Amino acid sequence: MNFRITLIHLQKITINLLILIYLSCKTQKTYFDLTEAIQNPLDVRVLNLSIRKLKTLPNEIGQLKNLRELNLSYNQLKSLPNEIGQLKNLRELDLSYNQFTTLPNETGQLKNLQFLDLSDNQLKTLPNEIGQLKNLQSLYLNDNQLKTLPKEIGQLQSLQRLDLHNNQLATLPNEIGQLKNLQSLYLINNQLSSKEKERIRKLLPKCIIYFE
């Protein structure tokens, strides 16, 4: 008897959970088609355009004023339109596995951005405006061609995780020591000398740093 009651109870929980998932997806307004998203610009909360062989993004992307999550991973993008800076409500931006060599300065206008993935691109530099992303918590820059970081990186006061492994960094700016909330820093496979590694440790005594 107790088993049957438990089973019925579990079935009810499962049904309620499925309803919640459905309502959540409906509320989130997830889109997988760019044309459809642009036709309903204020409706879009999540836009997933991963693995679409995209080479460019239309300027109209800036019309998605309520967009919170944008996934552009695994495409062939080399640049972003300046209008990307108009996405003031964006929280998560995944640009991994593309062909970016740099980012537009307007990226710094994404004031509410919390998660930025730029891993596996061809980045050689970062715009100084990256320091304007005051709410950024996670920044993935691994597997690029970075030789230097702008000193403005030290302005990312909310940053908790910074992944820089597999780049060409021989040094980090002193301003990296201003990242008081940084919990983990990945520097595996760079060109850092033993002396530089020790300097970085002293700049970030409370941070877990991975050199190898």
Say if residues 159 and 181 touch (Cβ distance below 8 Å). Answer: yes
pLDDT for 29 equals 76
**Same domain, yes or no: 14 and 105:** no
pLDDT for 189 equals 98
**Same domain, yes or no: 20 and 118:** no
pTM reported for the whole predicted model: 0.87
Q: Taking the chain (212 residues) in consecutive chunks of 10 residues, what is each chunk's mean pLDDT?
A: 48 54 57 96 97 97 97 98 97 99 96 99 97 98 98 98 99 98 98 98 98 93
pLDDT for 4 equals 47
**Same domain, yes or no: 89 and 182:** yes
> DSSP assignment of 122-159, as one string?
------GGGGG-TT--EEE--SS--S---GGGGG-TT-
Say if residues 79 and 104 touch (Cβ distance below 8 Å). Answer: yes
| Domain hosting residue 8, numbered range | 1-29
Q: How many domains does the chain have?
A: 2
pLDDT for 7 equals 46
**Same domain, yes or no: 179 and 120:** yes
Q: In what order do the strands lie in the sheet with 208-210?
A: 30-31, 46-48, 69-71, 92-94, 115-117, 138-140, 161-163, 184-186, 208-210
* Nearby residues of 130 by Cβ (< 8 Å), 6 or more positions away: 103, 107, 108, 150, 152, 153, 156
